[in-house]
Amino acid sequence: MKTKLLSFILILATSMGTIYASDTEVDGIWYDFDSSTQTASVTYRGNGPDSYNNEYYGSIIIPSHVSYNGVPYCVTTIGQDAFYYCSSLISVEIPNTVTGIGYNAFYYCTSLTSIEIPNSVAEIGGYAFSGCSNLVSVTIPNSITNIECGVFYDCSNLTSIEIPNSVTKIDDYAFRGCARLVSVTIPNSVKDIDSGVFYDCKNLTSVTLPDSATFVGGELFYGCRSLTSITLPDGIKGIWGKTFYGCSSLTSVTMPNSITSIGEKAFYGCSNLTSITIPDGVATINNEVFSGCSSLTSVTMPNSITSIGEKAFYGCSNLTSITIPRDIMNIGKFAFYGCTNLISVVWNVRNSIDFTNSSVPFSTARTKITSFILGNEVEHVPAYICSEMPNLTSIEIPNSVTSIGAYAFNKCTGISSVSLGKRITSVEDYAFAGITNRKINTLKLPTVQTIGSHAFDGWSYLEEIDFGQNLESIGTYAFKGCTRVAKMTCLADITPEVGSGGLTDINSQAELYVLKNSMSRYKLDNNWNRFQLKEIGATEIDIELQDVVVVPGDDIVIFTWPTNSSASSYTLTINKDGETFCTLVFNAGGQLIGIAFAPGRNSAHHAPGAIKVSGGLQFTVTGLDIATRYTYSLKVKNAVSQVIKEYNGSFGTTGAEEGIEDVHINSDQPVKVLHEGQIYILRGDKIYTLQGQEVK
């Protein structure tokens, strides 16, 4: 707080003989004088701004020049806090000698109705007119290049504002709380529009954003409940947090492809927004971005999306369908909580993500969903993804899928048909438990290696099981309640391990067909020898092979493909990172007649040809990189080298890191590790066997 005297205080500066006079009254206006420049700045009077007792009132005319001590001074500045809280000030006339208006200069001059700012003013300080609640209109002069922070904050009766072409930047909260502002046009000179510029402008219906803008800050239109539509400029890179928070009348938003990010709660509470198309470059939908958008019926998400945050679509009660993009790596808790009319989900996710019982993204929508479609690039069906969707009518699992997560389809009691793909190697705990439809009588698991605990618990109408040739283990009570099974086929050479109760509910009179050369092993295994053992020959094996079956390992991949009576050759090409890793050419009989590997790769240990299997050919490619993504093409050619059939797809090798102690887990994603000759799965801070048993 400054102390003032009835007469002026003269402050003498010793250097160069310059005289400064501070807090000096001339004709009822207080000034600071600078004799070195012969300029004067209007300052506050009374006991200073902190006293809330500034004594300017009525109408003030600021002269262009004022004499002090016989010396003329040019008035160039209205200083900081000059008219701070002058609630009785009605009008101020500013001369064209003034070049700057200071910070808080007219702060809460609540009786000020209008002000004319001359073109000489080049700078208006932050919050200069903040709280001038009766100010109706302002014309900003062409000399201004930057509208400072909070300049017109809480000018609640401001109905119009003209922004000149000289302005290049509008700072934070410049027009915040201008509740009667209806329409604003921002000129093309403006490049930066900072946070909260129109925060809580409740009657704002129209804003024209310039094409020149490359940045708009968060909370830009926070609480603009009358805004109905907006088109964002092409140069905008991102939408920051809470940009359209509470814009309850907003029905349309056009976003350019330049946008790469959408911040938290960006469209929170936009209850009249009906559709949204997210640009191709966006990687993350942050937490609660569309939460409360209760009228939203359509959302288009590009494949660039890798993460959907917590409560991203929370309460979108009119959303009926959603397609989840292929490269998603994370979906936060309650992402679609409250989407009570969601009936269709297309799941295209290629990454192996999982959920827990409390973090299922579709949560409250599960009871309404009737259609859950897996895309043809999906490799893993996540844990709990469809758990307790009683209205699902069928499950179709494409050939790309290699694993079914725990509880994936648990208690989907409305299921009447299950079609499992031809590459599934792992069915985790309770994956299909509780499906009790009388129409499901046959189960084929041609490539499955591990079956988790209670995986098919409750399949009481199941009559026949084909375990294929790769089965290694069956978990505890995997087939609990499957009392009607009368026939099983297991072509595994080594008898699979069976956990407690894994097969005990299957009647001992059920027939079990095994390969002749494996019969002795099954007779010695108490888990299997209680069934009626039957031999089966190679010619009796019924393998349905209409497409390429790809089974990857750590550094190998097994291809099995159908033969073609018109084929003269089969060319298998494997690519990595867009470049050819190897090309293999087989004749009609499966003999390897051509081989070419990338430089530095050793192909000498490959077999001389593919082996014949029922209905097709099978070949194992070795020497692959672990934990790597590949694409492949298998072309079937006739005698004149015409391509008569082509198969294309992709696969990923698994791979294991050596040594549990050396593995650092940075997420909840499972990691496979090799330790003392045994493979384990690390998930979070816990270690599991391949059968899903926790290692204490």
> Where in the chain are the domains?
228-369, 380-539, 549-652, 657-689
- Burial code (b: 16+ CB inside 10 Å, e: under 16) for 616-630 equals bbbbebebbeeebeb
The better pLDDT of the pair 343, 52 is held by: 343
Percent of the residues in the chain that have a pLDDT greater than 70, as a whole number:
87
- State the amino acid at position 417 in one-letter form: S
Backbone phi, psi, residue 7, to 5°: -100, 165
List the beta bridge partners of residue 346.
Answer: 323, 373
- Tell me which of 3.90.79.10, 3.50.30.30, 3.80.10.10, 2.40.50.140 is the CATH number of domain 228-369: 3.80.10.10
Confidence tier at 33 by pLDDT (50, 70, 90)? very high
For residue 131, is it left (φ>0), alpha (ψ between -120 and 50) or beta? left
Confidence tier at 386 by pLDDT (50, 70, 90)? very high
The better pLDDT of the pair 635, 612 is held by: 635
What pLDDT shows up at residue 602? 56
From 464, 461, 380, select the one nearest 416 (Cα to Cα).
Answer: 461
| CATH, domain range 549-652 | 2.60.40.10
Q: pLDDT digit string (tens) for 115-143? A: 899 999 999 999 999 999 999 988 899 99
Cβ proximity of 637 and 644 under 8 Å: yes
Confidence tier at 554 by pLDDT (50, 70, 90)? confident
- As a whole number, the mean pLDDT across the chain is 87
Q: pLDDT digit string (tens) for 170-193? A: 999 999 999 999 999 999 999 999
**Distance, CA of 335 to CA of 286 (rounded, Å):** 10
**Distance, CA of 522 to CA of 364 (rounded, Å):** 47
What pLDDT shows up at residue 680? 60
What pLDDT shows up at residue 583? 93
Confidence tier at 229 by pLDDT (50, 70, 90)? very high
| CATH, domain range 380-539 | 3.80.10.10
**Distance, CA of 195 to CA of 69 (rounded, Å):** 47
Residue tagged 């080298």 (tokens)? 641
Task: State both tokens at 643.
Answer: 């391509």
Q: Please check whether the two domains, 380-539 and 549-652, share a CATH topology.
A: no
Confidence tier at 12 by pLDDT (50, 70, 90)? very low
What pLDDT shows up at residue 551? 74
Task: State both tokens at 204.
Answer: 């704002």
What pLDDT shows up at residue 78? 97
What pLDDT shows up at residue 492? 87
Cβ proximity of 190 and 197 under 8 Å: no
